[in-house]
Amino acid sequence: MASLATTRNPGGWRVLRHRRKLGADASKSFTERIQHLERWARTLIRIRPPDSSGFLQSRSGTSAIEFAIVAPVFILLVFGMIAYGIYFGALHSVQQMAADAARTAIGGLNEAERKTLAQRYIDLNGDGYVLIDKTKLTVDAKDSANDSEQFVVSLSYDARQLPIWNLLTMLPMPEQTIKRSSTIRVGGI
């Protein structure tokens, strides 16, 4: 009887161990329990091909369908974040460049010298900023129209070469020209 339990059940050694604990008179009910569990496990493991009556109850392939629905949206979000991140990086670089050019221009004695200093700073350091091509940059430096004590450096950058414009046209897009300015006080207090 012990060999029968070990041949029919891959875990037969466990059956023998439990039989020793239960005693000889409990072995028949224990064997019946093991056979019942084996039949139950076979019905759970049995794979039935989907037929027309149970097709709608079948759960196989639901992950593939969910992936087919969610993947395009996820990929669009990832590429959108990357493209907008590049655009925001260029935007911040233009703003920082305007601020640095304004700080450099403060050393000039008059408006013409300040404008020359700002333009020279952009020409010398324009390539050092991330995502910026200095050939597509326009500089306008002048005294403020509202206050003669202030000097304004305005930059305009043509951002058409950034990858955001190649993404998708259905997304809301920012302007293709980035315009930023920086104002600095001229002279002392």
Collapsing DSSP to helix, strand or coil, 93 comes out as helix
Cα separation, 162 vs 145, whole angstroms = 33
The model scores a pTM over 0.95: no
How far is the CA of 28 from the CAs of 5, 22, 57, in angstroms? 12, 10, 39
What's the pLDDT score for residue 130? Answer: 85
Extents of the domains making up the chain = 2-45, 65-185
Residues in the chain with pLDDT values less than 70? 1-28, 44-58, 168, 188-189
Give the three-state DSSP class for 129.
coil
**pLDDT for 80:** 84
Q: What is the pLDDT of residue 187?
A: 73
Question: Which phi and psi angles does 118 have, rounded to 5°?
Answer: -65, -45
> What residues form DSSP beta bridges with 140?
154
Phi and psi at residue 138, to the nearest 5°: -115, 130
pLDDT of 4 = 45
Residue 92: the pLDDT is 96
